[in-house]
Amino acid sequence: MRFFSSQHEFEYSWDEVTTCNWRKYCPWNDKSTHVIAVDTISRSLDPKTHILRTERLITCKQAAPALMKKFLGSEDVSHVFEVSYVDLRAKKVTMFSQNLTWSNLISVQEKVVYRPSRIIGCTTFEQSAKIIALCGGWQKVKNTIEEYTVERFRQNAVKGREGFERVLAISREAFAEQREQSRRAQSA
Amino acid sequence: MSASLAPECNEVKERYDTCFLKWYSEKYLRGTAMSDECEPLFKEYKACLGKALKERGIDTMLDEARADMKENDVEHMKPS
- Helices (H), ranges, B1-80: 10-23, 39-55, 58-68, 71-76
Q: Is the backbone of residue A139 left (phi > 0), alpha (psi -120 to 50) or beta? A: alpha
Nearest residue of A to residue B45, measured between CA atoms: A40
Domains: count for chain A: 1
The 10s digit of each residue's pLDDT in B5-57 is 999 999 999 999 999 999 999 999 999 888 889 999 999 999 999 999 999 99
Can you give the residue range of the structural domain that contains A156?
2-187
Q: What is the pLDDT of residue A74?
A: 67
What is d(CA A183, CA B74) in angstroms, rounded to the nearest whole number? Answer: 45
Which one, of B17, B78, B69, B42, lies nearest residue A50 by Cα?
Answer: B78
The 10s digit of each residue's pLDDT in A150-187 is 999 999 999 999 999 999 999 999 888 888 888 898 88
Decide if B77 and A35 are in contact by the 8 Å CB cutoff. Answer: no
| Dihedral, A38, A40, A45, A50 alpha carbons, nearest 10 | -10
- Average pLDDT (A112-133) is 97
The 10s digit of each residue's pLDDT in A18-39 is 999 999 999 899 999 999 999 9
Which residues of A, range 105-164, sit inside 8 Å of B by Cβ? none
- Report domain extents, chain B: 7-76
Nearest residue of B to residue A46, measured between CA atoms: B77
Q: What is the pLDDT of residue A157?
A: 93
ipTM of the complex: 0.95
Chain B positions touching A18 (Cβ under 8 A) are 29
We report the CATH number of the domain holding residue A18 as 3.30.530.20
